[in-house]
Amino acid sequence: MNKALAIWKFDYRYLALISFALLLLLTAFAGGLQELLVRWEKQEEYSHGYMLPLITLYFIWQRRNLIQQSDFSPSWVGFGIVLLALAVFMVGEISALFILIQYAFIAVLIGIALSIMGWPAVKPVIVPILLLAFAIPLPYFLEASLSANLQLLSSKLGVYFIRWCQIPVYLEGNIIDLGGYKLQVVEACSGLRYLFPLMSLGFICAYMYNTVFWKRALVFLSTIPITLFMNSFRIAVIGVLVDNWGSSMAEGFLHDFEGWVVFMACLGILVAEMILLSRLDADRRPFAEIFGLAVDPSVGDMAEAKVRPLSRPFFAIIAGLVVTTITVFSIDKRAEVFPERKNFPLFPMQLSDWQGQQASMENTVIDKLGLSDYILADFKQAQGAPVNLYAAYYASQRKGISPHSPRVCIPGGGWQIAEIERKNLGLLDVNRIVIKKGDMTQLVYYWFQQRGRKMANEYLMKWYLFKDALLLNRTDGALVRLTTMVNPGESLDLADQRLQGLAKEVLPVLPQYIPD
């Protein structure tokens, strides 16, 4: 009985240790957390990230009575979780994979909570802590791939809606052709600006939805089709408005206002779904009772105040954080190695019987790609179609800036990938892609050339990036791409021969510009 009426409190020593541990954690993870704030600031699809830590703290505060009454049982499992998370953190820190750093941060928080409180006290607040995962942005290459696929799918569904309204329309990649007007479904209209915030909101709703698990899971998972459907519907509405009243309907305030209306409609559908689910079985509670936060009872003023004993697993975690922080500072102080190389403007324009002509990209494109140097040139033999050579060199990939995969960028230009395969040319493996736009066909080869290795596998490239950053203190590398038009009536075999012919001439020259 006395145990039930006790309120456990931290003394000043425990609070000082917790403060010290959090200071070490924020210091060690500063780079990953700073990148998190940059992404929240720059990308609208993650701007909701500012609110999620506050919501998490509120949900934890709301369970404060239960936590105060819990007789903590510190767990060494928390120490194990922290050790594993710190190992993942070091991989992310060295390879500049910020997503590893950010997820490791959440894992360390969970480990610290377990080391202090134990599972019985952590269990009521584990879901609010996991909510923080929705504040973590996807890596750029995954986000770009998801955005490209959503653009194509939203475009197709939007066109179906427009045709249902008896409006003639033609779809070419992400371009919706209405005859007098053409609408491009750009990255901002892919649906990610709805998807990530709505998934976060769906997770919060599922947490507050006091019902059986399958209904909670359905509420959360339904945010994906709701987003896709409503984003496609928005595209269709814009198409109908443009067809009737001109291109101004797709610009400015009206365009942004339509976005807010659609998001609120998504929220309305989510609430309607929960109300419907609450009526499916014998649960006749009012919806206001089913949906809401449970209030933990307070023990009142008569409860006995007790001081929590210090946790040994927590002491071990502090020691691990000290070692990690010192290691991070030693890594950051290492000057990255930048090998000598020639600049791409010096690249020869005569390679055997291939004659080249350099081109240039706009500064806005260069800034978006984040590259250090590049070559963009068309090479041509006496006969046959030209072959475009593009190589983007990155002097450092430590801050997460890396080559953009062509398979991600290609669909954004209205091209569709018809075939994709890994092909061995003898000298190297390449990714071979056949792309189409209307009656036009192109053949693309690309590979990654980094620190003496030539790879087609993008994930293997990331592994070697981590390894070389750790052992060689180098993260430089490049993407190399060859592209040629397949002329009408021409076989793909002839296009393959062109690309392979130029590849044989380019490969011996590239190491001067992409150091081994």
Q: What is the pLDDT of residue 184?
A: 60
The pLDDT of residue 1 is 39
Calpha distance 130→3 (Å, rounded): 30
The pLDDT value recorded for residue 182 is 65
Q: Which residues contact 30 (CB under 8 A, 6 or more apart)?
A: none
DSSP state of 399: T
Residuewise pLDDT in 10s, the chain (516 residues): 344 566 777 788 888 998 999 999 999 998 889 989 988 988 888 888 999 999 999 999 888 888 878 778 888 999 999 999 999 998 888 776 788 899 999 999 999 999 988 888 888 889 999 999 999 988 766 776 677 677 777 777 777 787 787 777 766 666 676 666 666 665 556 667 778 888 999 999 999 888 888 999 999 999 988 888 888 888 777 777 776 766 665 565 455 666 678 788 888 888 888 888 888 877 677 777 777 766 666 666 666 677 778 889 999 999 999 999 998 887 766 677 888 999 999 999 999 899 999 998 888 878 878 889 999 999 999 888 899 999 999 988 876 677 777 776 765 566 777 788 889 888 889 999 988 877 788 999 999 999 989 998 887 887 888 788 878 888 888 999 999 999 888 889 999 999 999 999 999 999 999 998
Closest by alpha carbon to 75, among 33, 124, 113? 113
Domain locations along the chain: 6-138+295-333, 141-290, 344-512
pTM of the model: 0.74
For residue 37, CA distances in Å to 22, 236, 399 come to 18, 34, 14
> Closest Cα partner for 108 from 129, 94, 91, 136?
129
What is 344-512's CATH topology?
Protein Transport Mog1p; Chain A (3.40.1000)
Q: Map tokens 């959440």 to a residue.
A: 106
